[in-house]
Amino acid sequence: MTMADGQMALFDIPPSTAEASKKRPGSAPSPRSHEGRGLSSRRRRQRKSPLRERAFEVFAETLFPTRCAICDAPGTPLCPECTRRLPYIDTLLACPRCGAPFGRIQCTECNSVLLAPFGYQEPPWDEAASAVILTDEARRVVTTYKDQGERALARPIAAIMTRLAPPSWLAARPAIAFVPATVAARRRRGFDHAELLARELSWAMEAELAPLLSPPRRLDQRKLSRTARIQNMRESFSVLPGATAPRTVIVVDDVCTTGSTLFAATEALRKGGAETIYALTFARA
Ligand SMILES: [Zn+2]
Ligand SMILES: [Zn+2]
């Protein structure tokens, strides 16, 4: 699960459907340096005039050239060599149920004993897959994208995820949903990392983007019993008012750690009408 977002907020701003559809983000890399990425991105977003924005991008690119998230080589947010060397998960060896790297024959990671603390006997989705193992290199890609605001990484990350997604999923013509960020995380970063990733994935997979879930809502866990805590976690997502989930959905996030955030998102999508749900993440802890 990506508990990487930290504590859940009590409410959040729903992702804008209009904003989340249609237009593919521009191909210009976002300006950054390894010291000042967040600031430069924020400044860039405040610009209204396209001409001024472009001029600013050129200026910022000169000052803070785009660099590889892993090796720091200039010119690209993720260089071909580092892309090649990422710790890819072999889908022929991985567990199709939970995406564990070596669980194809017998998986030790999606059994009822391990899932019991989260209130499950088995994962609530149909199948899950992750593109890479969350090594230090993969983590650098994720943190540079998410926490340092390098939005230009969304496209190469989505390209990797598309390449590694099981072909049978794509053959089912799924819609692409995502696990929305908390209001606090979205405000802190200035964008919803999973939403942008889903938008890029919908282009790469030629699939419909479906912003179906409201941002997570969770009560203060401290005073709750264990059962109430599990229930609280399981109900932290819901389908946006008036939305109906398509029949087949791929729900995406950047990282799967224990799975519980994606479990909760899956449950909400199921309640919202989705029949077949696949969970796809870039990295798996
Ligand atoms: Zn590199
Ligand atoms: Zn498994």
Which domains are delineated in the chain?
Answer: 3-22+88-284 (3.40.50)
Which ligand has the nearest atom to the CA of 68? 1
- Residue 279, pLDDT above cutoff 50: yes
Gap between the Cα atoms of 99 and 129, Å rounded: 4
pLDDT in tens, 14-62: 333 334 344 454 444 444 444 334 434 444 444 456 777 677 666 666 6
Position 253 scores a pLDDT of 97
Position 79 scores a pLDDT of 97
Mean predicted confidence (pLDDT) in 82-103: 94
Residues flanking ion ligand 2, Cβ below 5 Å: 95, 97-98, 100, 103, 107, 109-110
- Residue 63, pLDDT above cutoff 60: yes
Position 117 scores a pLDDT of 85
**Token couple for 40:** 């430069």
pLDDT in tens, 109-160: 998 888 888 888 999 999 999 999 999 999 999 999 999 999 999 999 999 9
Which ligand has the nearest atom to the CA of 130? 2
Compute the residue count for the chain. Answer: 285
Mean predicted confidence (pLDDT) in 244-251: 96
- For residue 156, report the distance from its CA to the centre of ligand 1, in Å: 12
Mean predicted confidence (pLDDT) in 164-185: 94
Tell me the pLDDT of the chain averaged across its residues: 83
Contacting residues for 41 by C-beta, under 8 A, at least 6 apart:
30, 31, 32, 149, 150, 151, 190
Looking at 50-209, which runs of residues are DSSP E strands? 127-133, 175-178
Higher pLDDT, 175 or 184: 175
Position 218 scores a pLDDT of 66
